Structure 1
Amino acid sequence: MSDITTLDDARYQEFILQGVSRTFALTIPQLPPALRAVIGNAYLLCRIVDTVEDDSALTLEQTRELAGMFTEVVSGSIEAEIFAQALYPLLSEHTIPAEHDLIKNTPAVIRMTHSFNSVQRQALERCIRIMGQGMAAYQEKESLAGLENLAEMDLYCYHVAGVVGEMLTELFCDYSPEINQHKSTLMKLAVSFGQGLQMTNILKDIWEDRKRGACWLPRDIFLEEGFDLDNLQPGRCAQGFHDGLGTLIGIAKSHLHNAMIYTRLIPSHETGIRRFCLWAIGMAVLTLNKINNKRNFTAGVQVKISRRSVKATVLITSLLASQDWALRKVFSISSRKLPEVQITEL
């Protein structure tokens, strides 16, 4: 690969990140230079899988076939051009223009993927394989009835977020021998970290998901409160639904508490990695507070955190990134009004 091509691919990666995710375009530059390119690439690979899963114009068979094909593209068994030519014409208006562009330029993203070292590539390949298999399987289960129980929700969250946490941990450990000393503990906490973020997204997106025929809430949690998800309608939710929502908010909070433990295991001098983690945790806690305060919300926009809140989170966590005692205090204060629900110790 020529240096010019590599430079062009790196520039494209930075450019398209701005279009597909403002959040990651903001957080990835906080990372040490040695991690920015590979983690930016990892996000784009995950976004391609998301695009395959989310575009409603694709049939279940097409989704399954394309997800499997992309796994082979990442591993180098299939040319990226073949995948792009197969998927790009099938995309609908449901997929945003930046994602259309991303799919069209999959070869540039994959050239970056294949430029990384063997440990990094293995981490990316494993993540995309597990994520692709999981998303295809769960799309077949999509319904308004919800998932059977909390264990099913845990498994769903693992396939779409927990495995990403494991991948990031592999990359952090490859980058730093000091971080690698805590690898076994970090790998366990990484799954919980991912679940906390994903549960927050699921709760925020309840009504948007239902509009497209999906519900990722666990039936058992709500049945224990006397509410059947089959009866879920915006603006007409019984107290049992609000109580079940509270339980899930509390579970998400506990996972985010584990995310804070994960972050404090990162050496205090690695403030860039800590900021990368802390900004995600901070925004999730703020979102949970909004949901908790307005459990009768009927659209995600009603519980979306403001830009001012995002800026405050960025400022506070950046200032305190290296101070463990302060991070514990900030998390305790910011999450104090959320329900307390214990999860299994890791």
Structure 2
Amino acid sequence: MNDWQEHLEKTSRTFALSIPLLDEPLRREVTIAYLLFRVADTLEDAFVWPSTMRRSALLACGEIVRSGDYQQATRMARQWGESSPTTHAGYLALLAAFPSLLEDQRALRPKAARCIEHHLVRTIDQMADFATNWVEDEVLTLRTRDDLRAYCYAVAGIVGELLTELFILHSPSLRSAADSLSRLAPCFGEGLQLVNIAKDSVDDVKEGRSLIPSSMTTEDVIGLAHTDLDRADLYVQLLRRGGAPPGTIAFAALPVALARASLQKISKMGAGAKLTRAEVAELWGRVVALSTMPIDSLGFEAEMS
């Protein structure tokens, strides 16, 4: 059984902070799920490859996830690494670890393992579709607001649905709120993705992604993000009122709080503006403290809104 914390720290500052807040076995399940989705993201983001190669890599990844074929995973991981899809050392190390990661996913609680496989394959298949049908001159190009919405759902909204199922599996008290949580789940992921699109728009264009449709501005994307984050706040409130553990509440609340703070900074300083480590640490401490407040307290909602 591998310890994946080092890979978290090398691939996501936010999730390296938030995932350890979760109780076991949920922590391990979410860790493995996140890293598997990060493998798919790395293949989807490999814009040094032609779009046909990205699509083939994604489809191969999906087939391996379905089959659990360790030998094929080992061969593909070696092939991906040799083709240098990225210069990011953390992502390259994660691709090399894909076979072990898949093996550990198969060893999780059966319901959790099936849930991760189901939603990961959905995301990979939709990523492959975007790599085929939304590419113009080797640039991933979203043409309309609906395209933007569909893309955010594919790469992030599905993650919200996955997390919701894992939360309910871990905390049966949430079953009474399952329908409401499921309706809001995509917004939880999509809001975070919209913030990233607004923040990284300049770099995205340089790297072969045109994710803001020509009919929209960065301010339009920020507006959509605010709407989704408002719904994400409702999602976090439902977790609290449904009796989720403090760690689950803090895990869900932290990315939303960071996203809101990022939007404020982008609005003031423009695309590319990022939170400092001190700002992230301050928000982390506040969210963790608030997550333990009594359910009938208004403080959490007031602080996080």
Structure 2 length as normaliser, TM-score?
0.90
- Counterpart residue number, 2:5: 14
Q: Deviations over 1:106-128 (max 9, x none)?
A: 12111111001222122111222
* Alpha carbons 2:261, 2:275 under 8 Å: kept: yes
- 222, 244, 251: which one pairs with 1:249? 222
How far has the Cα of 1:269 moved from its partner?
5.6
Q: What residue is the counterpart of 2:169 in the other structure?
A: 174
* 1:183 correspondence with 2:178: yes
Contact 1:57 1:90 in 2 (8 A): no
* Paired position in structure 2 for 1:238: none
Paired residue secondary structure (1:148): coil
**Residue type at the aligned position of 2:237:** R
Q: Cα deviation per residue 1:279-338 (whole Å; 9 max; x = unaligned)?
A: 1011100111111223xx3x51xx101222112211211111144521221233xxxxxx
Given candidates 326, 333, 340, the residue that maps to 2:299 is: 326
Let me know the Cα RMSD of the aligned residues.
1.9
CA contact (8 A) 2:21 2:248 kept: yes
1:211 aligns with: 206
Q: 1:95 to 1:142 in 2, by over 3 A?
A: farther
Q: 2:17 aligns with which of 15, 19, 26?
A: 26
- Indicate if the aligned counterparts of 1:200 and 1:284 stay in contact, CA closer than 8 A: yes
Q: 1:161 aligns with which of 156, 165, 172?
A: 156
Aligned length: 295
- Answer yes or no: is 1:35 the counterpart of 2:26: yes
- Please tell me the residue identity of whatever aligns with 1:168: L
| 2:77 counterpart of 1:84 | yes
Match runs of 1:295-310 below 5 Å = 297=270, 300=272, 303-310=273-280
Listed one character per residue, the Cα deviations across residues 15-42 of structure 1 (whole Å, up to 9, x for unaligned) are 2222122221111110012211111000
- In structure 2, the partner of 1:47 is 38
1:241 corresponding residue in structure 2: none
Structure 1 residue 146, shift from structure 2 partner: 4.8
Q: In structure 2, which of residues 95, 105, 109 is the aligned counterpart of residue 103 of structure 1?
A: 95
Q: Secondary structure at the match of 2:25?
A: helix
CA contact (8 A) 1:164 1:194 kept: yes
The alignment partner of 2:75 has SS state of: helix
Q: Alpha-carbon deviations, 1:194-239, whole Å to 9, x = none? A: 111000000001000011232111333x3xxxxxxxxxxxxxxxxx
Unaligned runs of 5+ in 1: 1-5, 223-243, 333-346
CA distance in 2, matches of 1:176, 1:204: 34
**Aligned residues of 2:144 and 2:213 also touching (Cα < 8 A):** yes
Instruction: State how far apart, in whole Å, the 2-side matches of 1:266 and 1:113 are.
Output: 25
Match of 2:263 among 288, 308, 317: 288
Choose from 101, 126, 151 the match for 2:146. 151
Instruction: Give unpaired runs (5+ residues) of structure 2.
Output: none
Superposed CA offset, 1:124-172 (max 9, x none): 1122212112222223424579522222111100000000000011111
Secondary structure, counterpart of 1:91 in structure 2: coil
Work out whether 1:261 is the aligned partner of 2:234: yes
The question of whether the paired residues in 2 share the 8 Å contact of 1:69 and 1:78 is answered with no
1:130 aligns with 2:122: yes
Deviations 1:72-130 (A, max 9, x none): 222225332132133221124x3311222221221211111100122212211122212
The offset of 1:183, in angstroms, is: 1.3
TM-score by length of 1: 0.80
Read off the aligned partner of 1:22 and give its amino acid letter.
R
Counterpart of 2:260 in structure 1: which amino acid? V
